[in-house]
Chain A
């Protein structure tokens, strides 16, 4: 389980809900052809929740969602290639 940063957890309820909403809009636009490794992650509920938490951490640090998504997709891609 990912440890969420205190900086995120102490944000107001409203602010956190807004962050979730922004992430969901970004994830809903992902297709199997654009960010395929993230698309695969979204097929499992625990992996999906972990991905959302990773994005929340990145957003809290000031990274924009699309940059984070590309970085995560590349990381999973490299990890998958190494496994193969």
Chain B
């Protein structure tokens, strides 16, 4: 019996050794699908992202009957691409990933969506936009989806001392607040957090958003999505 660790290592070797122009076969994709070190590994796609896209279909860019979403979407922590594989047609995605293997796996597993969605893959973290102070010309999106980790060193490098301090002890709240900076007027931020942390995270996010953004946002009652909750904030 091959252990999980051995499977992960074998997938990492496969990614490192493949040619730059390698074309994945269906069995390759099934193999990559077994990687469980990405941030979204524990998320049940059929529950969490179904809920996310159901909620998005009620936005102005969503057309529920046609299962379409005509807006621009930022995924701050792309993981293995689960947010995209279940996405409606039409959405234009900017997918950020701060782990090389997950970045490659997300590209491989979601490339099939390219005939129905525009996909831009970007290696890095949104925290990079908040280095040194200036944020003029920050890109904006209709929908931002974030599934932040509990800890992240990059969050500690923020120019705002209050946020850098929060980033050090609670990266989830940090990324939720910084993700909101990318939401355009009328747009929405959805943050996926573990069930046991959602109240604490939600309270911290509201407090910090008020500190950073003032009264420019509205929030909904957190939505239950299995082992997780979805926090929703709209820019008014």
Q: Are B157's CB and A10's CB within 8 A?
A: no
In contact, A45 and B135 (Cβ under 8 angstroms): yes
Q: Is the interface of A mostly helix, strand, loop or mixed?
A: helix
How big is the B interface, by class?
20 to 34
Number of interface residues of A (CB under 8 A): 22
Inter-chain CB contacts under 8 Å: number: 52
Contact partners of A4 in chain B: CB under 8 A: 123-124
CB of A43 closer than 8 Å to a CB of B = yes
A20 x B134 contact (CB < 8 A) = no
Residue contacts A-B, CB under 8 angstroms, 14 given: A4-B124, A14-B153, A17-B153, A17-B154, A17-B157, A20-B128, A20-B131, A28-B132, A44-B134, A45-B136, A46-B139, A48-B132, A49-B129, A52-B131
- Since A13-B99, A20-B128 are in contact, a sample of 12 more A-B pairs with Cβ atoms closer than 8 Å, ordered by chain A residue number, is A17-B153, A17-B154, A17-B157, A21-B157, A24-B132, A24-B157, A27-B132, A42-B132, A45-B135, A45-B137, A46-B137, A53-B124
B residues sitting closer than 8 Å to A (CB atoms) are 16, 98-100, 103, 120, 122-124, 128-129, 131-132, 134-139, 153-154, 157
